[in-house]
Amino acid sequence: MRDDECVHFLQWALPQLEMRWAGFRKVRGQVCKRLQRRLARLGLAHIDAYRAYLETNAEEWPVLDGLCRVTVTRFYRDRLVFAVLTAQVLPGLAQTARDRNLDRLRLWCAGCASGEEPYSLAIVWQLDLADRFPGLTLDILASDADARLLARAEIACYPWCAVRNLPGPWRDAAFERSDDLYCLKPDLKAGLRWIQDDIRAPRVFGPFDLICCRNLAFTYFDQALQLKVARSLHDRLVPGGVLLLGVREHLPPGAPAMQTLSERLALYRKPDLYPSG
């Protein structure tokens, strides 16, 4: 299958999945390779034959939806984002939780893939922040629609390319080497819960102090679906809670009102309805 053939197909198919071509343009290679393998599995010679197959086999659309999940992830992705989370966002949320006599800081990583993001947050908390907030527990819920990725996340062993962005001392403290893999130490896996869940119709309710939904809904979904997700995420934040998107993402027009903490880093805060003092 030529690249132009794959592009033409995706421009036809993605809108029917409530997705937008612009989000896939630079990462389409991953999806095109999966499509090629799917054609071979079905015994179809050409992408046009797959389009015809879709038009007569409704049960294939969910399969195509799964083929269009882009997985590009690594630990400590976007270093400036994690620097701000470590220095400002997490300490601020932790202090607010303590001021409200709470014993947990609740985080949700939506679209967690194979676990690099939630584990990065666990590393940041345990190695840098936990001693500053004794008695406060970090509770991380990580969700993804792909059961295979979640299975990898629970194993928590990664190649060098996945962990190279972590600061060296944190990498050394958090992982044990096993052949060519870096395996997360067991104590850093505690406090994380995994759930197979689709951000488009989440079974997760919260509420959460911080929700991370990076490089997913607001990159690949069409505007109507983005708006639906934005409202859903807003509803699952505590008053004063923080929403983190990908650095090239933003909330769609019509989304619930949020305070922009950083437009560059796509950090938003839900209005705090608690009375001061």
State the pLDDT at residue 277. 44
Work out the burial of residue 9: count CB atoms within 10 Å of its CB; fewer than 13 is exposed, 13-18 middle, 19 or more buried: buried
| Residue-averaged pLDDT of the chain | 95
List of residues 6+ apart from 22 with CB closer than 8 A: none
Q: What is the pLDDT of residues 132-147, one digit of tens each?
A: 999 999 999 999 999 9
pLDDT at residue 189 greater than cutoff 70: yes
| DSSP reduced 3-state for 97 | helix
Would you kindly state where each structural domain of the chain is located, as residue ranges?
3-67, 79-269
To which CATH superfamily is domain 79-269 assigned? Answer: Vaccinia Virus protein VP39 (3.40.50.150)
What pTM was computed for the model? 0.94
Instruction: Please state the rounded mean pLDDT for residues 265-271.
Output: 96
State the pLDDT at residue 72. 81
H/E stretch holding 100: none
Q: What is the pLDDT of residues 66-79, one digit of tens each?
A: 999 998 889 999 99
* Segment 60-63 long-range contacts (CB within 8 Å, at least 24 positions apart): 61/16, 61/17, 63/38
Taking a C-beta distance cutoff of 8 angstroms, is the pair 234, 202 a contact? no
State the pLDDT at residue 71. 85
Angle at 243 between CA 167 and CA 254, to 5 degrees: 145
Give the Cα separation of 153 and 276 in Å (integer).
40
